[in-house]
Structure 1
């Protein structure tokens, strides 16, 4: 598996295009464990290993904060750049995670699976007493934070998976994942012109669909933030700084799509979103780690990001 396509995603590049390895450690942390691959919900026991640079890990960081789980699940943050083997805790004093006592996230994976054959990805939940990785299934991690840790949510935590829109929400998230979250990678790591143009056309068709959907509703599912918004936001936040140029997603910028740009600013200015987004780390990660795409390792100075804090004017679309 090549690391050049992004260690954070467990992904790789084939001769004719981009594919994503979706085989993750599928253990779960649940209220009532019933099997060998289920672990008990237990405050203070687990540590979320994440990186602000990674869109998939950024989801878990946002959800953890929205639900008020900061004092229940601790968090260790890896730096934005890594080598072919592992994310590293180079942001911490001495280059070691202060709770797990490890320099490389790989150590937690190998503590449980000495011959672990896949990419060392974030986010990952780590069992602090044993130092072993529990799961790196980014999709299930945030689902379980919402559904299995409810006894520890803060009193005013949002319902990120409302029953009345869940079926439609799953459909929306599936298209967003396939054509937007993953679509930008399919553009950036396409192996030939045809694969690139197919991914490009699908990406912008989906963005046009989202632009229309968000013209008369504040959030993807209506008047309240859901997990669908979290999942879209992490791609939108990286669109102009990275994907537009680095991944050749250049039909237009996010700032040139009025509804999506207003929506993205609305979320950015909501606690849990903008305060977990680090544009410097985002740019450093993609432009330094992806040497196949950017062999010089030069990180661009732009774009101007001051617009993220400007008024979005979307309050009238919903509470």
Structure 2
């Protein structure tokens, strides 16, 4: 699978419901180093796959906060086997900083008997070669709160103290019913489990649509952690979840408010420029052979309308608050042009 664990972490309980293994390495990298890993520029490497929605969150937050110089990034390919994500995009199939062929090596450097799934995102301590954490919800929060010394000038406040309780509440519902809800539908082992997940997913999307019909962003008048977490699921909805995971009451493009909200974020620097549509589709359709036995990757959908005007400015709000948009991606981190949404679907 992606992010949450690799394929070995997928579990369907006796009732047919998908269960996510959420037992992550919870060690934190903090400004004061209280858990043995102090924030230091150049010491750590963020390992991601652009295919994975959980890793995509960390890519976006790193971009928005301007942490590229302080925290390097290794990018795995879009597919993996039962053992691990691999660095097949790099010369000779090895990460140029860590020297690893597989992310699994960093987990075994931490614990030779590591028993769980090998997940992205993961932050690796470069000197030791050992993974520090793969606790993806905490990683993005800590990039905001613990890495402040290295934020760019004009970095937005993605997790402001005055809004944290509301952000946490919104994130909780979005995780249960949307981020994880699409997986609960897609991997359901019974009709009953699927219908329950499907119903909860679209009930939550309807509620979010109602909320966003009155305000530009999920919490407050600026982009926050909550928007990042919803965006990565929405960006995969029509290309993957609608068909592959049977989340097909409507496409995102058929939900006017949510689609306009999505386009607003997609067209914001730091969001759309992290989306690799080729990697996303190849991952889900090639790896999930239990759902898609042939491994055939669909050519669609047409995503040219992701660039259409969204009109969300009429609701007010300031995407970056008192801050500024991030600059362009680093040249080595630019998504290949042919992988960027908006290219025409072959006739």
TM-score by length of 1: 0.96
2:209 aligns with: 211
Structure 1, gaps ≥5 residues long: 1-5
How far apart in 2 are the matches of 1:205 and 1:183? 11
Structure 1 counterpart of 2:3: 8
Aligned residue runs from structure 1 range 62-211, under 5 A: 62-211=60-209
Q: Tell me which stretches of 4 or more aligned residues in structure 1 moved more than 2 Å.
A: none
Give the 5 Å matches for 1:243-254: 243-254=241-252
Find the aligned partners of 1:202 and 1:25 in 2 and give their Cα distance: 29
Cα distance in 2, alignment partners of residues 113 and 230 from structure 1: 31
| Cross-structure match for 1:3 | none
Partner of 2:17: 17
* CA distance in 2: counterparts of 1:291 and 1:60, whole angstroms: 27
3-state SS of 2:22 partner: coil
Q: Measure, in 2, the Cα distance between the counterparts of 1:9 and 1:31.
A: 26
Once the two structures are TM-superposed, the CA of residue 7 in structure 1 deviates from its matched residue by 4.4
Alignment of 1:267-306 (within 5 A): 267-306=265-304
Q: Cα deviations across residues 253-291 of structure 1 (Å, max 9, x unaligned)?
A: 000111110010110111111000111100000000001
CA distance in 2 between counterparts of 1:224 and 1:38 reads 34
Aligned length: 312
Alignment TM-score, normalising by the size of structure 2:
0.89
CA distance in 2, matches of 1:280, 1:312: 24
Q: Deviations over 1:43-75 (max 9, x none)?
A: 000000001000000000000000000000000
Q: CA RMSD in A?
A: 0.9
> 1:165-220 CA deviation, whole Å, 9 max, x = no partner?
21111110000000000000000000100000000000000000000000121110
SS in 1 for 2:243: helix
C-alpha distance in structure 2 between counterparts of 1:166 and 1:40, whole Å = 24
Q: CA deviation at 1:91?
A: 0.6
CA distance in 2, matches of 1:263, 1:70: 27
- Indicate if the aligned counterparts of 1:50 and 1:78 stay in contact, CA closer than 8 A: yes
Kindly indicate whether residue 305 of structure 2 is the aligned counterpart of residue 311 of structure 1: no
Structure 2, unpaired ranges of 5+: 319-347
Q: Which residue of 2 aligns with 1:49?
A: 47
CA deviation after TM superposition for structure 1 residue 222, in Å = 2.9
